[in-house]
Amino acid sequence: MLNLNEEQLLISQGHKLIGGIDEAGRGPLAGPVVAACVIWGADFDAEKIQYTELKFLRDSKKLDEKRREDLFKIIREEALEVGVGICDHLTVDRANIFQATFLAMKKALSALKNKPDFILIDGKFIIPNTSYQQKAIIKGDDKIFSIMSASIIAKVTRDRLMKKFHEEYPEYHFDQHKGYGTKLHQEMLKKYGPCPIHRRSFGPVKKLIKK
């Protein structure tokens, strides 16, 4: 059953606003990396989860597109704060995907009007060079409510961006694979070569450029 145990524990320790952070787009061969931070108010009723669409909240990768879109709308409407940060393919190539992801997370935090007292981050690493108190949680996007919420925001935001890129570069079918290295994407990449939004620093793209 979904709960806000981690967030409520931090609130009981004196932290007022808890932000959950996750990203989408670390692995693709094209497009941006997107991070999101979601804060649910300290007075958010955990029991309410069981009686709304929020009960279906999971790691965004485990949900179909319609469910993600439905949850995206609810989170946007009901969460206290939602911040989004985007780093494009040029930043990924210039800084490397690891650093670009942290930069996107910092942008997401900067987009918040009400800053969190503590942040929970999906994965093994905390954000470097920041004054925020924070904790990294492995598989947090599948067990921490605020991180799962951020997972939905980041994923839907990035998918929408990739659909727009599909309109510019329809031959690559970005609307289907969202830039990930699927068989279809690899075939189109070999057929047409890299387009402007492909990440030149990623192996499969780099090999094609060398050829």
**pLDDT tens track for 143-177:** 999 999 999 999 999 999 999 999 999 999 999 99
Predicted TM-score (pTM) of this structure: 0.95
Report whether pLDDT(1) > 70: no
Domain boundaries, the chain: 5-210
* Mean pLDDT of the region 55-73: 91
Report whether pLDDT(24) > 70: yes
Q: What CATH number belongs to 5-210?
A: 3.30.420.10
Q: Which long-range contacts (CB under 8 A, 24 or more apart) does 9-18 make?
A: 10/117, 10/118, 11/42, 15/117, 15/118, 15/133, 16/42, 16/117, 17/41, 17/42, 17/80, 17/81, 17/114, 17/115, 17/116, 17/117, 17/118, 18/116, 18/117, 18/118, 18/119, 18/120, 18/146
pLDDT value, residue 211: 64
pLDDT value, residue 47: 74
pLDDT averaged over every residue in the chain: 94
pLDDT value, residue 207: 87
